[in-house]
Structure 1
């Protein structure tokens, strides 16, 4: 039946302003339907930050999604699938922006042909879009979220999480990256492996950063790492010299940043590097972006970057299974990149996961509820980075983490780290 909520959302979207499509758009759905229940031509949207520090990664995810749909012949089962890429960022913000993210979700919820949504890149953005999409019953797959509270109330979640993201009481969300329970363990373990007996954490106070910092603290107790402090930062500060000076007085032997690049991560690392000249500087996948590590894109200078280690979920491309190696070959042939950004893989797998859910829904592949159910029922899928399932909360069952160094403006795989959560 027609969803009154979706109609109201569509009207609200106009008040929030139009959301521009980017150059990755492949057109929008045009079929008529009843809330995604009977359309023969369906639309899968993505919502990613196409401006700012994560632009390169987001465009890679868009390309990966486009490749997946192309390989599927633009179909899922008997349904024709169209893809439309939306931007959840603004140039002024330099990353995702709540109003734009909300408008994207409202637009999709109000489109009767919409059957799936790839996004968001940032966990904080998903906290905005997920309740809207859940109310509309749209299956959502994130190629970038890791915050614990999006899917569970495990340690690291805030009060009210995750229930506040699912107003229908039914899960409609999954992600292709492991939750930060594992990344927190990876960062704490990495600090110990680097010879640190203690560490100081700065977090950016967003859903992702604040939650991950808590996970690092919890994991630190297990591995015997003393946490000298865990403080939130002012992302708009001109510099962090006074903060760095205070950290120095604690005697912390390692520095751990918990947050995203767009929240002034480059300046933070530069100032901490001066105050702690001998300390390893550790960061999560939230800074695994060209805007952080490539000086040509405003990233870290070489002398600071040489001391940085970044934890990244998944295995190195050299360790991909056959499906992953086939993806790399196909991506290189289409886009001319032999070593694509890892978000190309995440975008590809996110699209494939949605297409698979639609296909498995059979004749009900145009029904949002049926597709969301199949998404959460994914079992033993042969994905590009290994065989995995999606658990009842929407979490992927693959949990390995790699450690990357920064050299010549690029991330270079160093080693794997065993993150025991």
Structure 2
């Protein structure tokens, strides 16, 4: 993905909203509410890539959100809640697409009943939707973002981040995954665990991939891992044999990919594996998708997959607290999946966060500004993967990372990695 100029996105937003002829409810201090039930029905949208490499994970997140709303009786406090799932992807793109993402955010912003928004799955997509939703004052929770610059100007962010995503000047966004400060450290720590003293990084140039690669470099300096190179790739290349040859020539002992599956990750790993037959191949949660690890869905062949290790935020399901185990049982009973994808958990928790914010707003539960404020003051919430808070920037306070292997076309938890972030 190329980085978007937020000014251009906002200009397009203004034109599109005007064309719709309905820009009511766009004020951050406005109240949401449909005609049903005397203005008591509110809408929560989700925007996730329901086509392409992340389809399985996105559908799991949608199912998780549906389960959360069902368990809440379809209500939050005194308000009835309607849920509408949107697709931010196209078949041609094989993943999220900027124009579709923008249209989804505009749809939610232009709906007077909108009180919350679950999305996006990709950090780059959030760079498109967040300014639109923030200007409308809509509380947004991501079940998949980790890019540092979405919430802070910490190392790994770009100039102008995160302020350019918040044109209203007020924070309205939170996420249920930790920022990539921790994932960068986890990948470096994993490389050292694998016995590597050096590594080469390829990134996909997206907001997520480029930012995470910087975090890997910064953590490598602190942990004593020599980074032989950090290069951006052409996601449309037919192959990466020349790039892999350069990595081999660098003398790097480990390979680290920083990006998402949809940006040709499978081909990248296959070509690097051929050039470096003995090197550990490491990837982030951005490739923790069946489209990457399951050969039946176009994922890696078994001989390459056996050398891959993936860092995933959170603890293994067997380490979930009671609330998490109850969720797993309920999800299995409803959807018939004994081992649900982890994004089912993230989708569930994202919906629960929004419902909780609406409830805590009490009589102001239909007021977007009040709900967003409650979202950003979430404290000691007993979630499905542990007790956590949301800090003033919108970041979750839980930061552990697990390491997963690939076996028989599935990810298998291996161990928790100790990843110093500072």
Give the TM-score category using the shorter length.
over 0.9
In the other structure, the counterpart of 1:243 is: 243
Q: Provide the residue aligned with 2:82 in structure 1.
A: 82
1:9–1:109 contact (8 Å) kept in structure 2: no
Say whether the 8 Å CA contact 1:31–1:40 is kept in structure 2.
Answer: yes
- The answer to whether 1:309 aligns with 2:316 is no
Q: How does 1:65-144 map to 2 (within 5 A)?
A: 65-144=65-144
- The Cα shift of 1:167 comes to 0.2
User: Which residue of the partner structure matches residue 335 of structure 1?
Assistant: 335
Shift of the 281–13 alpha-carbon distance from structure 1 to 2, 3 Å rule, reads: farther
Flag the 1:248–1:115 CA change in 2: closer, same or farther, 3 A: same
Q: Report the counterpart of residue 186 of structure 2 in structure 1.
A: 186
Does the Cα contact within 8 Å between 2:33 and 2:40 map onto a contact in 1?
no
Equivalent pair of 2:48/2:89 in contact (CA under 8 Å): yes
* Contact 1:130-1:166 at 8 Å conserved across structures: yes
Q: d(CA) in 2 for partners of 1:9 and 1:379?
A: 37
1:244 is paired with a residue whose SS is helix
1:198 aligned partner: 198
Task: Say which SS state the counterpart of residue 415 (structure 2) adopts.
Answer: strand
For the Cα contact (< 8 Å) 1:7–1:110, is it kept in 2? no
Partner Cα distance (2:319, 2:20) in 1: 44
Kept in 1, the 8 Å contact 2:145–2:175? The answer is yes
Is the aligned partner of 1:10 residue 2:17?
A: yes
Q: Which residue of 1 aligns with 2:225?
A: 225
1:81 aligns to what SS in structure 2? Answer: strand
Question: What is the DSSP-based 3-state SS (H/G/I as helix, E as strand, rest coil) of the residue aligned with 2:177?
Answer: coil
Deviation at 1:418, TM superposition (A): 1.1
The separation in 2 between residues aligned to 1:294 and 1:262, in whole angstroms, is 14
Query: By how many angstroms is 1:7 displaced?
Result: 8.3
User: Mind listing any 5+ residue stretches in structure 1 that lack a counterpart?
Assistant: 15-28
Distance 2:76 2:15 in 1: 29
Question: Is residue 96–residue 122 contact of structure 1 (8 Å, CA) maintained in 2?
Answer: yes
Question: Contact conserved, 2:33 with 2:366, CA < 8 A, in 1?
Answer: no
User: Alignment RMSD, CA only?
Assistant: 1.5
Aligned residues: 399
Displacement, 1:342? 0.1
Runs of 4+ aligned structure 1 residues displaced above 3 Å come to 5-14
Q: Deviations over 1:295-315 (max 9, x none)?
A: 000000000000000000000
Deviation at 1:348, TM superposition (A): 0.1
- The question of whether the paired residues in 2 share the 8 Å contact of 1:44 and 1:84 is answered with yes
2:9 corresponds in structure 1 to none
What is the TM-score of this pair, normalised by structure 2? 0.93
In 1, the alpha carbon distance for the partners of 2:16 and 2:392 equals: 28
Structure 2 residue 34 is matched with structure 1 residue 31: yes
- Whether the aligned pair in 2 keeps the contact of 1:253 and 1:279 (CA below 8 Å) is yes
Distance of 2:249 and 2:55 partners within structure 1: 37
The 1-side partners of 2:406 and 2:161 are apart by 35
Q: CA deviation at 1:9?
A: 4.7
Question: 2-side partners of 1:299 and 1:410: how far apart?
Answer: 10
Segments of structure 2 that go 5 or more residues without pairing to the other structure are: 1-11, 22-31
SS at match of 1:315: coil
Does the 8 A contact of 2:101 with 2:129 survive in 1? yes
SS at match of 2:303: helix
1:241 and 1:272 in contact (8 A); partners too: yes
Check conservation: 2:174, 2:394, Cα contact below 8 A: yes
Partner of 1:380: 380
Q: For the Cα contact (< 8 Å) 2:33–2:114, is it kept in 1?
A: no
